[in-house]
A and B are shown apart, each in its own frame.
Chain A
Amino acid sequence: MSAVGDPRRGTRVIVPTQLRGYTAGASEVTAAGATLAEVLVDLDRQFPGFRFRVIDEQDRVRRHVIIFVGGERCDDLGARVPAGADVQIVGALSGG
């Protein structure tokens, strides 16, 4: 059995409040992809505009966004998303 996520199964993505305008208010959605990059592409396909609010045009995670893959902080879009792992997007400490 492969250790990576099966695109057909989908990965649970936990969406922060700041991005729920894109997900019709949903706090959890499902996206397909074996890597974080693929998951983000699928999120943008489902929720147009989502990815650019999280990832800049040079493929860097935005400064005040933190992404966890399977509970571990992850800035590498090429990272594998293991089967059963959640992707959690968090609005970091910011603002005022």
Chain B
Amino acid sequence: MLSLYIATRKGIWIASSEDRRTWALRGPSFLGQQCHHVVLDPRNRKTLLAASRQWHLGPTVFRSDDGGTTWKEAATPPQFPKGEPRGRAVDHVFWLTPGHASEPGVWYAGTSPKGLFRSDDGGVTWAPISGFNDHPEQAKWVGSDKDETPDGGKLHSILVDPRDPAHLYLSMSGGGTFESSDRGGSWRPLNLGVDMDFAPPKTDGTEYEYGHDPHCVVQHPTSPDRLWMQNHCGIYRIDRPSNRWVRVGRAMPKEIGDIGFGIVTHPREPDTAWVFPMDGSGDWPRTSPGGKPAMYVTRDGGETWQRRDEGFPREQAWWTVKRQALCGDARDPIGLYLGTTNGELWATTDEGASFSCLFRHLPHIYSVTVGEPA
């Protein structure tokens, strides 16, 4: 069975299907709570973690071991140390990433304000990762409130190298992308080649090391040296060990541009990626350009991009698809799923040849993730 975990501004819904043609929708859970991310543990295909807050109350993480029927709150949710010198307090947990396959029970969480946390017991207790949160340069990396999204800065796209549990990436809006080779003990920026058109060129001609605005970064599961990034300033690709990103989005049609929130790669084809462009011109409406939704796909590493819009509305559809609301399954052919801020869930099960709307009338969708529960 395939399940879509839909986290919204007002609760969680779960859509399930055996054949990806007929879907059943369950929910809501946590009605009235702001749920930023719900993720199935791919290691046991059983544990679900949900990042939640409530308008009045503090942030927390819930765990379910029965497919989302019942939930139990973390005994110690992610939180900064009491009395820490910068006075930080977690406003909301934004991102959840299961740890390496060899480390069952390990999870990572990214928060707003930007902080990195780890659980070693399947999300029951969480501890700050001091190597990042207390790094001497961290305050500069994360910037000020001018380097945040409207509801706070975001630490997101926590990636665990499938070859090495100590090799991690994270990204921040704003702040940039960073890498660790020692399980988070130390970090270094990884932003060369990434544009930053919201800052003047440095007077010495060098590039900014950090301060960029990656919206979403994904790592190819079977070619982990290949990362894809959808940034505030374009679409990028990097092939490690190179430290330089390449703006492959320059090959996108000029009238569409290469601005967006989410990006997803094909689980078996590292040269294939999909994006959902948004209007990043003028007042930055962040809607489908021209009110005409479309995905774009590259199958050659970003050299060329093709429009995919069959089944989408032809006009007057001013969608926004947030960075966590675009995902793909691993079936053949793969399915892609996108959730809109006006509560619609769209899917393609033929790799973008055609799209159909699975559900309407949900609340503002923050994230959609996919899993195959046991």
Which residues of A does B touch, CB under 8 Å? Answer: 16, 18-19, 48-49, 52-60, 62, 64-65, 91-92, 94-95
Partner of B56, one of A16, A48, A57: A16
Residue of A nearest to B30 (CB): A21
CA distance A92 to B57 in the complex (A): 10
Question: Which chain B positions have C-beta within 8 A of A59?
Answer: 82
A4 to B94, CA, bound (A): 42
Residues 46-70 of B contacting A (Cβ, < 8 Å): 54-58, 60
In the A-B complex, the 7 residue pairs with the closest CB atoms: A95-B55, A56-B89, A91-B56, A53-B57, A57-B79, A94-B55, A64-B56
Q: A62-B56, A95-B55 are in contact. List 7 more A-B contacts (CB 8 A).
A: A53-B57, A53-B60, A54-B57, A55-B58, A56-B90, A57-B81, A58-B82
Q: For the complex, would chain B's binding face be called helix, strand, loop or mixed by DSSP majority? A: loop
The A interface, classified by DSSP as helix, strand, loop or mixed, is: loop
Residue of B at shortest CB range from A18? B56
In the complex the two chains form, what is the Cα distance from A64 to B77 in whole Å? 19
Q: Is the CB of B56 within 8 A of A60?
A: no
How far is it, in angstroms, between the C-alpha of A48 and the C-alpha of B58 when the chains are bound?
A: 14
Nearest residue (CB) in A for B76 is A52
Q: How far is the CA of A92 from the CA of B60 in the complex (A)?
A: 19
Tell me whether A57 and B60 are in contact (CB under 8 A): no
Q: Which residues of B contact A (CB under 8 A)?
A: 54-58, 60, 73, 75, 77, 79-84, 87-90
Tally of contacts, chain A with chain B, CB under 8 A:
57
Chain A residue contacts of B58, Cβ below 8 A:
52-56, 62
Distance between A59 CB and nearest chain B CB, rounded to angstroms? 7
Closest to B73 in A: A49
Which B residues lie within 8 Å of A58 (CB)?
A: 80, 82-84, 87-89
| B residues in contact with A19, CB < 8 Å | 57
A57 adjacent to B57 (CB under 8 Å): no
Q: In whole angstroms, what is the CA distance A53 to B55 when docked?
A: 11
**B75 near A65: Cβ-Cβ < 8 Å:** no
Tell me the nearest residue of chain A to B34, going by C-beta. A95
Q: Which residues of A contact B90 (CB under 8 A)?
A: 56-57
Ordered by A's residue number, 20 sampled pairs between the chains whose C-beta atoms are within 8 Å are A19-B57, A48-B73, A48-B75, A49-B75, A49-B77, A52-B58, A52-B60, A52-B79, A53-B57, A53-B60, A56-B58, A56-B90, A57-B80, A57-B82, A58-B80, A58-B82, A59-B82, A62-B58, A64-B56, A64-B57
Q: Note all chain A residues with C-beta closer than 8 A to B89.
A: 56-58, 60
CA A17 – CA B55 in complex, angstroms? 12
User: In the complex, what's the smallest C-beta–C-beta distance from B91 to chain A, in angstroms?
Assistant: 9
Partner of B77, one of A52, A54, A91: A52
* A51, closest chain B residue (CB): B58
Minimum CB–CB distance from B173 to chain A (whole Å) comes to 21
List chain A residues, Cβ under 8 A from B79.
52, 56-57
What's the minimum C-beta distance from B370 to chain A, rounded to whole angstroms?
A: 28
Assembly CA distance A87 to B82 (angstroms): 24
Contact (Cβ within 8 A) A94 B60: no
Residue of A nearest to B75 (CB): A48
**Nearest CB in chain A: distance from B211 CB, A:** 27
* Nearest CB of B to A13, in Å: 15
| A59 CA to B79 CA, complexed, in Å | 12
Closest A residue to B84 using CB positions = A58
Q: By CB atoms of chain A within 10 A, which of B56, B58, B83, B84 has the most?
A: B56
A49 to chain B, nearest CB (A): 5
A22 CB → nearest B CB, Å: 9
Taking CB atoms, residues of chain A closer than 8 Å to B73 are 48-49
CB distance from B213 to the nearest CB of A (A): 25
The residues of A that contact B60 with a CB separation of less than 8 Å are 49, 52-53
Cα–Cα, bound, A52→B87 (Å): 16
- State the CA gap A16–B54 with chains docked (Å): 13
Across the interface, name the chain B residue whose C-beta is closest to A21: B73
Contacts of A95 in B (CB 8 A): 55-56
